Amino acid sequence: MADVDAITRELYGLRPDEFTAERDACAARARSAGESAVAKEIKALRKPTLVVWAANLLARSDADRTRRLLELGQALREAHRALAGEELRELSHQRHAVVAAMARQARELAEEAGQPVSEAVQHGVEEILHTVLADPETARTWAGGVLTKTPPPAVGFAGLEPAPGATAPAPTAKAAPAHKPRQADTKADTKADTKAHITAEKRAQAQADRTAQAYREADDELALAREAWALSRSRLDELDRQIAGLQGRLETARAERGHRATEADAAARRHQQADHRAKVTRTAAEQARAELDALQHPHGRR
């Protein structure tokens, strides 16, 4: 039985302009082997956009670099859950630098593969990498080099709830306070900060959910538009075939008409020639009868 995972990985390693033909060929081979379910599964694989292809190419190009990005994402998620403010700030700075550098590398790799991409594609790769850092499921798919479409954008790390008992670190004051705050006040301030942080996280999560829903709806609309385009393209192809058939019949009719016109002209010429010969023959016959009559009646008729 065909290994769909292996075929999928092979297909998503191809340039987008090579994908469709090879996917259809793989599906045809599976169908010929009697594996209709496998053929249907392969046929359903979506052609990657340039952004998705470049992101997959990046993941495939350097296993160590891919692993380091996954480790950075894990560290960010753990720091977020622990509300480790200083560590989060340091890792976030590292995240932006790493993502920007890797997106530039993806663009260079695409050019080396014979598929130059725009700055907009590079920016799209950055968005994917931010989602990879925030979402473990997307990270696993990307690391395998088999992203099939652009994942919903990640809104920070809003989907991660702080670990039980974790508290946000109190901000460091620039100057020492005039008096030492009471322990009860410090606990109250910390609790208030934590509550405010969680409320902000919930708002961000709600926004992320709305964004993801809008993305899914837009993706569905795009799929419907593609289906309508494919149907229109199929109908147009059928009309083109009909037009080509009619043009062929018209050319054949024109050729037959020309041939028949040629035959008619030839027949007319033959008719003219036959008529001429008939006239010549009649003239000769009349002369022959006159000569015969003269021989039979040498002295004229009485």
Mean pLDDT of 247-258: 83
Q: What is the rounded distance in angstroms from the CA atom of residue 32 to the CA atom of residue 50?
A: 31
Among 17-26, 158-167, 185-194, 261-270, name the most confident range: 17-26
Which pLDDT belongs to residue 274?
Answer: 84
pLDDT above 70 for 259: yes
SS3 state of residue 235: helix
Q: What is the rounded distance in angstroms from the CA atom of residue 27 to the CA atom of residue 33?
A: 10
Axis crossing angle, helix 50-61 with helix 63-81, rounded to the nearest 10: 100
Of the candidates 20, 38, 18, the one whose C-alpha atom is nearest the C-alpha of residue 29 is 38
- Please list, residue by residue across 27-40, b when 16 or more beta carbons sit within 10 angstroms of its beta carbon and e when fewer do: beebeeeebeebbe
What tens digit of pLDDT does each residue of 46-100 get? Answer: 999 999 999 999 999 999 999 999 998 888 888 777 665 666 677 777 888 899 9
What tens digit of pLDDT does each residue of 103-152 get? Answer: 999 999 999 999 999 999 999 999 999 999 989 999 999 999 999 999 98
Global pTM reads 0.52
Which pLDDT belongs to residue 248?
Answer: 82
Which tokens sit at 35? 């594996």
Which pLDDT belongs to residue 168?
Answer: 43
**Neighbouring C-beta atoms of residue 261, cutoff 10 Å:** 10
3-state helix, strand, coil in the chain (%, to 5): 75, 0, 25
- Please list, residue by residue across 209-235, b when 16 or more beta carbons sit within 10 angstroms of its beta carbon and e when fewer do: eeebeeeeeeeeeeeeeeeeeeeeeee
Q: What percent of the chain has pLDDT over 90?
A: 40
Half-sphere CA count of 157, side-chain side, radius 13 A: 23
Minimum mean pLDDT range among 19-23, 119-123, 128-132, 252-256: 252-256
Mean pLDDT of 213-220: 54
Between 253 and 71, the more confident residue is 71
Q: What is the mean pLDDT of the chain?
A: 79
Task: Answer whether 23's CB lies under 8 Å from 41's CB.
Answer: no
Mean pLDDT of 32-43: 94
Mean pLDDT of 2-21: 93
Task: Answer whether 160's CB lies under 8 Å from 81's CB.
Answer: yes
Half-sphere CA count of 239, side-chain side, radius 13 A: 6
Which pLDDT belongs to residue 222?
Answer: 58
